[in-house]
Amino acid sequence: MGSVRRVLVADDDREMLDMVSRVLARLGLDVIPATSGGDLLEKIANQGPFDLVVTDVSMPWMSGLQVMHSARSAGQLCPVIVMTGLRNQRTADEVHALGAEVRRLNKPFSVDELESMVRASLPHAVAVAC
Protein backbone atom coordinates (compact mmCIF):
# COMPACT_ATOMS: atom_id res chain seq x y z
CA MET A 1 0.00 0.00 0.00
CA GLY A 2 2.58 2.55 1.10
CA SER A 3 0.28 5.57 1.25
CA VAL A 4 0.27 7.95 4.20
CA ARG A 5 -2.42 7.09 6.71
CA ARG A 6 -5.09 9.75 7.25
CA VAL A 7 -6.20 10.55 10.79
CA LEU A 8 -9.13 12.78 11.72
CA VAL A 9 -8.58 14.49 15.09
CA ALA A 10 -11.44 16.32 16.84
CA ASP A 11 -11.33 18.46 19.97
CA ASP A 12 -12.87 21.85 20.76
CA ASP A 13 -9.90 22.67 23.02
CA ARG A 14 -7.46 24.26 20.55
CA GLU A 15 -4.38 23.50 22.67
CA MET A 16 -5.32 19.81 22.94
CA LEU A 17 -6.15 19.64 19.22
CA ASP A 18 -2.80 21.21 18.32
CA MET A 19 -0.81 18.95 20.67
CA VAL A 20 -2.47 15.73 19.45
CA SER A 21 -2.11 16.85 15.82
CA ARG A 22 1.62 17.58 16.28
CA VAL A 23 2.25 14.19 17.91
CA LEU A 24 0.44 12.34 15.11
CA ALA A 25 2.17 14.34 12.38
CA ARG A 26 5.52 13.41 14.00
CA LEU A 27 4.48 9.77 13.57
CA GLY A 28 4.21 10.40 9.82
CA LEU A 29 0.43 10.59 9.68
CA ASP A 30 -1.66 12.98 7.58
CA VAL A 31 -3.72 14.82 10.23
CA ILE A 32 -7.05 16.48 9.46
CA PRO A 33 -8.30 18.61 12.40
CA ALA A 34 -11.92 19.16 13.45
CA THR A 35 -12.91 21.75 16.06
CA SER A 36 -16.44 20.61 17.01
CA GLY A 37 -18.83 17.69 16.76
CA GLY A 38 -20.43 19.29 13.71
CA ASP A 39 -17.04 19.74 12.05
CA LEU A 40 -16.17 16.10 12.86
CA LEU A 41 -19.42 14.87 11.30
CA GLU A 42 -18.94 17.00 8.16
CA LYS A 43 -15.38 15.77 7.65
CA ILE A 44 -16.31 12.10 8.11
CA ALA A 45 -19.11 12.53 5.57
CA ASN A 46 -17.21 14.60 3.01
CA GLN A 47 -13.47 14.02 3.40
CA GLY A 48 -13.22 10.30 4.26
CA PRO A 49 -12.10 7.65 4.25
CA PHE A 50 -9.89 7.91 7.33
CA ASP A 51 -7.62 5.24 8.76
CA LEU A 52 -8.27 6.40 12.33
CA VAL A 53 -10.46 8.90 14.19
CA VAL A 54 -9.22 10.45 17.45
CA THR A 55 -12.03 12.38 19.13
CA ASP A 56 -12.83 14.16 22.34
CA VAL A 57 -16.16 13.29 23.97
CA SER A 58 -17.34 16.69 25.21
CA MET A 59 -17.72 19.16 22.37
CA PRO A 60 -20.33 21.79 21.48
CA TRP A 61 -23.43 20.91 19.46
CA MET A 62 -22.71 17.19 19.13
CA SER A 63 -20.36 15.04 21.20
CA GLY A 64 -17.63 12.94 19.65
CA LEU A 65 -19.53 9.85 20.82
CA GLN A 66 -22.75 10.98 19.11
CA VAL A 67 -20.87 11.54 15.86
CA MET A 68 -19.12 8.18 16.02
CA HIS A 69 -22.37 6.34 16.82
CA SER A 70 -23.90 8.00 13.73
CA ALA A 71 -20.87 7.00 11.64
CA ARG A 72 -21.11 3.40 12.92
CA SER A 73 -24.83 3.32 12.06
CA ALA A 74 -23.89 4.39 8.53
CA GLY A 75 -21.49 1.43 8.29
CA GLN A 76 -18.21 3.28 8.80
CA LEU A 77 -16.07 1.07 10.99
CA CYS A 78 -12.61 2.63 11.20
CA PRO A 79 -10.66 2.42 14.46
CA VAL A 80 -11.45 5.15 17.00
CA ILE A 81 -9.59 6.56 19.98
CA VAL A 82 -11.92 8.37 22.37
CA MET A 83 -10.21 11.01 24.53
CA THR A 84 -12.10 11.90 27.69
CA GLY A 85 -11.76 13.28 31.15
CA LEU A 86 -15.14 11.80 32.06
CA ARG A 87 -14.95 8.79 34.36
CA ASN A 88 -18.67 7.94 34.69
CA GLN A 89 -20.31 4.63 33.78
CA ARG A 90 -22.52 6.21 31.11
CA THR A 91 -19.48 7.40 29.15
CA ALA A 92 -17.80 4.00 29.56
CA ASP A 93 -20.96 2.28 28.25
CA GLU A 94 -21.21 4.65 25.26
CA VAL A 95 -17.57 4.04 24.35
CA HIS A 96 -18.06 0.27 24.67
CA ALA A 97 -21.21 0.46 22.48
CA LEU A 98 -19.10 1.72 19.56
CA GLY A 99 -17.90 -1.88 19.20
CA ALA A 100 -14.60 -3.27 18.05
CA GLU A 101 -11.57 -1.16 17.22
CA VAL A 102 -12.36 1.46 19.87
CA ARG A 103 -9.94 2.53 22.58
CA ARG A 104 -10.48 4.95 25.45
CA LEU A 105 -7.69 7.37 26.33
CA ASN A 106 -8.32 9.05 29.69
CA LYS A 107 -7.31 12.69 30.07
CA PRO A 108 -4.82 13.78 31.19
CA PHE A 109 -2.56 11.49 29.18
CA SER A 110 1.09 11.54 28.20
CA VAL A 111 2.52 11.79 24.70
CA ASP A 112 3.84 8.24 25.15
CA GLU A 113 0.35 6.96 26.00
CA LEU A 114 -1.09 8.68 22.93
CA GLU A 115 1.63 7.33 20.61
CA SER A 116 1.25 3.82 22.01
CA MET A 117 -2.52 3.84 21.52
CA VAL A 118 -2.21 5.18 17.96
CA ARG A 119 0.32 2.47 17.07
CA ALA A 120 -1.97 -0.18 18.58
CA SER A 121 -4.94 1.15 16.59
CA LEU A 122 -3.34 1.51 13.16
CA PRO A 123 -2.25 -2.07 12.34
CA HIS A 124 -5.93 -2.94 11.93
CA ALA A 125 -6.76 0.17 9.92
CA VAL A 126 -5.93 -1.27 6.52
CA ALA A 127 -9.17 -3.26 6.16
CA VAL A 128 -11.67 -0.71 7.44
CA ALA A 129 -12.10 3.01 6.92
CA CYS A 130 -14.47 5.81 7.94
Contact present, 49 and 75 (Cβ < 8 Å): no
Total number of domains constituting the chain: 1
Average the pLDDT over 11-27 and give the result: 96
Does residue 58 fall inside a structural domain? Answer: yes
Among 40, 74, 71, 38, CA closest to 54: 40
What residues make up the domain containing 72?
A: 6-124
pLDDT of residue 124: 47
Contact 107, 81 (CB under 8 A): no
The CATH number covering residue 37 comes to 3.40.50.2300
Residue 44 belongs to some domain of the structure: yes
Reported in sequence order, the residue ranges of the chain that DSSP labels E, i.e. its strands, are 6-10, 30-34, 52-56, 80-84, 102-106
pLDDT score at 2 = 52
**Which residues, 6 or more positions from 45, have their beta carbon under 8 angstroms from its beta carbon?**
none
Lowest mean pLDDT among 3-17, 36-50, 116-130: 116-130
Q: What is the mean pLDDT of residues 13-22?
A: 97
Q: What is the pLDDT of the chain when averaged over all its residues?
A: 89
* 118 contacts 95 by C-beta, under 8 angstroms: no
At 129 the pLDDT is 41
Q: Which residue has the higher pLDDT, 128 or 130?
A: 130
Give me the pLDDT at residue 25, please: 95
130 located within any domain:
no
